[in-house]
Amino acid sequence: MVKRWSMKTVRREDVSALASECGISRLTASVLLSRGYRTYEQAARFFDRQSPLSSPFDMADMEQAVDRIQTALDTQEKIAVYGDYDCDGVTASALLFTYLQLMGADVTVYIPERTTEGYGLNRGAIKTLADEGVTLIITVDNGISAVDEVDYASSLGVDVVITDHHQPGELLPAAVAVVDPHRKDDMSTFKDLAGVGVALKLVGALDNDMEGALESFSHFAAIGTVGDVVPLVSENRRIVMEGLSSLRYCELPGLCALMEQAGIVPQKLSSQTVAFSIVPRINAAGRLGSAKLALSLLLSEDAEEAQQLAASLCDMNAKRQAEEQLILSEIEAQIAENQGLLRGRLLILRGEHWNHGVIGIVAARLLEKYGKPTLLMSMDELGFLRGSARSVGDFHLFKALSANCETLTQYGGHRLAAGFSLKAEDFPAFCAGMEAYAKEQFDFMPQQELLLAGELTAADLTVETIFQISQLEPFGAENETPVFLMKNAQITAITPLSGGKHQRLSVVFDKKEASVLWFGMEANAVPFAVGAYVDLAVTAEINEYNGRQSVSLKLRDIRPADFDEMRFFNAKGYYEKIKRGEPVSDGVRARALPTREEIAVVYRFLRQNASLSFDSERLLFALGQKTINYCKLLVLLDILKEADLLSVTSGGTFALCAPTKKADLTQTPTYRRLS
């Protein structure tokens, strides 16, 4: 999917000044400036790995929370830690439970089941805990909206202390304490803690030792912080840095077993390893089974038991991946059968038996592939459609759902991600309402963006410079792995790797040779020939082999060196307007209609390159924008499909069909409509 490339403009004199003042490379200075670190003091704080966490008592209601919990500890009341089934909630539950147990508390953990109970406090769970003798519930990563549930707990004689990090509503629950950095009266300086970060602050307050709490529990806090994709800046950055150091020398049986089963080398652990190898395995338990399995692993003190639990989590993660692929394949088949599904401003689909725990991940993958806000729904046991949505750019999902709340039974979320449910009979009205809202807000929908941190020169490709970039880790939200522009590189060779599953591009760049690894791209899908000039978006890291270090470049995106981005997105937008039957000018309609000669050029290219696996974007790259604009190319492909000369695979690539009769292209519906 073609993305917009954007790069913040930084002045050369500012780059030189910061590089000189901090004793860093120009490339590192450019990255820091692009992320808002403009002075020596700001840069120094960014690199400071010992910056203290702020006092937990800056948070509203923290004193009340500490007093109530301390009373429960002193009098041996039964306490329940009430968590959530995602990675943030599970690690927060493990952290607080472990601390309270060390303090000698009579404590248990309750994590609701995703499929039968849903998110947050519920009356059934509260009643169960009350019947078991619990007199104090402490929530982690939930509770801020549980107004009625807290009142119900109070009616049963159960006090509630809430710790959460989600946005509060107008009315706070009448709990003993409500600790949430997003409260209007909260005086803490850092607001972007994950749920596990708030739980860590609570432990720091209970122990009156924030640094001690961080030293003892940073491993849990780091995993949950990375898992919840909160900004890895300021206090979160310190939490994750400490946690990574702790995990590299971890002795906890559960985490050791999980890393071993996941094939992680602890000494090489990074935030990306946590995000892509540890977090998904913890999340898999809540998505496909019970989050209690993941909690049991984190709390396990027996090495043999831990190995068995870790193996179960890895099996669940593999099953989760298989289910994702199954749903994705089903959706791709639907799209191949009905390309009209891609012509809306939004991609909205429903299935009967899709797993509710994984459709959010599938929605994210479809968003990445098609560049459209994606909403997926599946029928639950009660006959309701439960959905998960992912968005891009300025299309605000929560506002869109709010505008269509009359068709919904429940919804929540934020700009880029949301969950919702509706009655099955309201599905058509919901789809129509969401499309109407999108049309009202945008003539052309927002596009995915790739943020570039700076432009490389050949002089930057040294071990010393790239090592310095690595010191910006841990990478994550708002401190992403820097992606750099390599402008106007000429491809000199394309070498298949791993049996053709990946490619190595050899290029001449800035008058020097370089290699770029292109993962997940098969040889017959590469739309560029040797000799082509391209712009590359790459990440850079240090590779070590046989004791020798070198710079390794990995491709994130590629396009022709003369690519006109604005022209491409305008053409794409007008094509979609035409397909939706929306008004466009006569000039646009005329320019969208291909000539016989243009049809012949594209048809001949496809016939001569029948072994290639191209979608429409790769076909445009291979032909070149000077040959044909993207709107006209898409119209041309529609004409060939309608004439039964072209088919589309479930992967979205094209294949010519053997003609069974002479085709009159001027009689196809698309040609007639435009002409």
Contact (Cβ atoms closer than 8 angstroms) between residue 356 and residue 386: yes
3-state secondary structure of 12: helix
**Could you give the CA distance from residue 573 to residue 635 in angstroms, rounded to a whole number?**
13
pLDDT at residue 339 tops 90: no
Asked if the model's pLDDT at residue 152 lies above 90, the reply is yes
Amino acid 3: pLDDT: 95
Please give the Cα distance from 554 to 489 (Å, whole number): 14
pLDDT tens, residue by residue, 14-48 = 999 999 999 999 999 999 999 989 998 888 888 77
- Report yes or no: 109 and 141 within 8 Å, Cβ to Cβ: no
CB within 8 Å of 511: residues ≥ 6 apart: 458
Residue-wise pLDDT for 477-503, tens only, equals 899 999 999 999 999 999 999 999 999
Position 381 confidence tier, pLDDT thresholds 50, 70, 90 = confident
> What average pLDDT does this structure show over 520-527?
94
Token representation of residue 72:
């429960």
Q: How many CA atoms lie within 13 A of 278 on its CB side?
A: 34
Residue 173, pLDDT above cutoff 80: yes
Instruction: State whether the Cα torsion 91-94-96-102 is positive or negative.
Output: negative
* pLDDT for position 383: 82
d(CA 198, CA 202): 6
Question: Residue holding tokens 């522009």?
Answer: 485
Does residue 385 contact residue 377 with C-beta atoms inside 8 Å?
yes
Does 336 score more than 90 pLDDT? no
Residue 187 has pLDDT above 90, yes or no: yes
Kindly list the domain boundaries of the chain, sorted by start residue: 4-48+450-560, 56-210, 249-337, 338-447, 565-674
Percentage of the residues of the chain whose pLDDT score is greater than 70: 100
CA count, 13 A, side-chain hemisphere, 77:
21
Q: Please report the DSSP string for 509-522 in residue order.
A: ETTEEEEEEETT--
- In order, the DSSP letters of 81-122 are EE--SSHHHHHHHHHHHHHHHHTT-EEEEE---TTTT-SS--
Whole-number pLDDT of residue 660:
77
Q: What is the CA radius of gyration of the chain?
A: 27
Q: What's the pLDDT at 530?
A: 97
Nearest-CA neighbor of 503 among 429, 464, 554? Answer: 554
Quote the CA–CA distance of 527 and 622 in Å, as a whole number.
Answer: 5
pLDDT value of residue 289: 86
Tell me the pLDDT band of 372, cut-offs 50, 70 and 90. Answer: very high
- Residue 211, pLDDT score: 96
* Residue 416, pLDDT above cutoff 80: yes
Lowest mean pLDDT among 40-49, 63-72, 327-336, 396-405: 40-49
Do the Cβ atoms of 421 and 398 come closer than 8 Å? Answer: no
Nearest C-alpha neighbor of 509 from the set 484, 491, 529: 491
Q: What is the mean pLDDT of residues 443-449?
A: 93
**CATH 3.60.10.10 holds for 4-48+450-560:** no
Categorize the per-residue pLDDT at 643 as very low, low, confident or very high, splitting at 50, 70 and 90. very high
What confidence score (pLDDT) does residue 661 get? Answer: 79
Average pLDDT of span 616-645 = 95
Closest CA to 238 of 96, 99, 48, 57: 48
CATH dotted code for 56-210: 3.90.1640.30
253-278 mean pLDDT: 95
pLDDT band for position 461 (cuts 50, 70, 90): very high
The answer to whether 466 and 551 have CB atoms below 8 angstroms apart is: yes
Asked if omega into 266 is within 30° of 0 (cis), the reply is no
CA 475, 368, 500, 536 torsion-angle sign: negative
Cα dihedral: 89, 92, 97, 102 (round 10): 170
Strand 512-518 relative to strand 502-509: parallel, antiparallel, unpaired? antiparallel
DSSP 612: -
The Cα–Cα gap between 511 and 491 comes to 12
Architecture in CATH of 565-674: Orthogonal Bundle (1.10)
Q: Is the pLDDT of residue 248 over 90?
A: yes
pLDDT tops 80 at residue 424: yes
| pLDDT band, very low/low/confident/very high, at 158 (cuts 50, 70, 90) | very high
pLDDT at 225 over 90: yes
Q: Which one-letter amino acid corresponds to residue 632?
A: K
pLDDT given for residue 561 in this prediction: 96
Give the residue-averaged pLDDT of 189-194: 95
Residue 340: predicted pLDDT: 84
pLDDT at 546 > cutoff 90: no
Q: What is the mean pLDDT of the chain?
A: 94
**266-290: pLDDT as tens digits:** 988 999 999 999 999 999 999 988 9
Q: Which CATH fold topology does 338-447 show? A: Diaminopimelate Epimerase; Chain A, domain 1 (3.10.310)
pLDDT digits (tens, 9 = 90+) for 391-408: 999 999 989 999 999 999
- What's the token pair of residue 140? 């982690």
Of 222, 217, 226, which is closest to residue 272 (Cα–Cα)? 226
Least Cα distance to 634 among 573, 587, 583 occurs for: 573
With beta carbons less than 8 A apart as the criterion, state whether 439 and 577 touch. Answer: no
Confidence of residue 310 (pLDDT cuts 50, 70, 90): very high
**Tokens for 649?**
């695979």
- Contact call for residues 226 and 271 (beta carbons, < 8 A): yes
